[in-house]
């Protein structure tokens, strides 16, 4: 990446899913804290599904669903903001600071970091990103900070919106022109089952993904994960990977070229 003729450190966007956060070892935060020294500008985007569910239950806020998706009404949105921008974000920042990182916690509302619009009126205050404040992220990373962003957004009228963390991370990676987007999950890699045995797929092109979905090898909850990866790839990010967040040394191993998780590249990039 170049700016004004000067080569800049590449962006590395890391998405931490809510179900993965509690599994991340101390070593993960130590690795993350060292990334700027290794020549990267890391940006973290996170969700917090389990924390949201726990708070909703404790506060007796009833959940409604449309086509399997939670409806975010005003009461639910308040809980989502508490869970994401409050508890989860500050826990992540605290762990990263303890590991020696220079972390700063934000939500997509702060500095209009993520401008969004309502995705589907039936789902209430759920949005998708239409603009990213890349200037703010560039300023923070230039000062050595690691932005830790909760997946909330704000629309043009000032209404806060709940945003899916996968799509938020993808929007951030695409807007920044990130070199890599890493999606940390609780699975080792994308896999297919053959004769009752799992075969992990270490590298996939969009064409291969569609073929595996069509023949039923990739199915169920894995489909939205790989679709999210392909969406980001289509927006110009060079490489997207699904990685097992709980594995020790996963960031270092991946960045050093070890076959870990599943990497998504275009056919052109794979052939090089």
Q: Which residues are catalytic?
A: 15, 18, 49, 166, 225
Output phi, psi for 3, to 5 deg: -145, 115
Report d(CA 107, CA 163) in Å as an integer: 11
Distance between CA atoms of residues 120 and 178, nearest Å = 28
User: What does residue 199 show for φ and ψ, rounded to 5 degrees?
Assistant: -120, 115
Please give the torsion angle defined by the CA atoms of residues 61, 18, 112 and 157, in that order, rounded to the nearest 10 degrees: -30
Contact 118, 125 (CB under 8 A): yes
Whole-number Å distance between alpha carbons of 183 and 225? 9
β partners of residue 231: none
Contacts of residue 9, defined as CB under 8 A and 6 or more positions apart, other chains included, come to 1, 36, 39, 40, 41, 141
């Amino acid at each position: 990446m170049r700016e004004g003729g000067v080569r800049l450190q590449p962006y590395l966007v890391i998405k931490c899913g809510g179900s993965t956060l509690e599994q991340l070892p101390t070593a993960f935060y130590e690795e993350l804290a060292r990334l700027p020294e290794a020549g990267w500008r890391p940006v973290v985007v996170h969700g917090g599904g389990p924390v949201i569910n726990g708070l909703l239950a404790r506060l007796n806020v009833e959940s409604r669903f449309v086509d399997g998706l939670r409806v975010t009404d005003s009461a639910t949105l308040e809980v989502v903001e508490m869970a994401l921008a409050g508890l989860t974000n500050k826990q992540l920042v605290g762990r990263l600071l303890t590991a020696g990182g220079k972390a700063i916690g934000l939500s997509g509302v702060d500095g209009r970091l993520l401008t969004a619009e309502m995705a589907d009126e039936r789902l209430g205050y759920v949005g998708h990103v239409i603009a990213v404040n890349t200037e703010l992220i560039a300023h923070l990373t230039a000062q050595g900070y690691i932005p830790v962003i909760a997946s909330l957004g704000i629309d043009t009228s000032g209404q806060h919106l709940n945003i899916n963390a996968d799509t938020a991370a993808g929007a951030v990676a695409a807007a920044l022109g990130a070199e890599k987007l890493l999606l940390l999950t609780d699975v080792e890699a994308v896999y297919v089952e053959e004769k009752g045995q799992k075969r992990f797929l270490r590298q996939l092109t969009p064409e291969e993904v569609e073929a595996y979905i069509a023949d039923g090898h990739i199915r169920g909850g894995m489909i939205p994960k790989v679709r999210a990866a392909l969406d980001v790839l289509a927006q110009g990010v060079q490489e997207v990977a699904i990685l097992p967040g709980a594995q020790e040394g996963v960031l270092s191993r991946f960045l050093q070229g070890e076959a870990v998780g599943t990497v998504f590249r275009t056919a052109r990039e794979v052939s090089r």
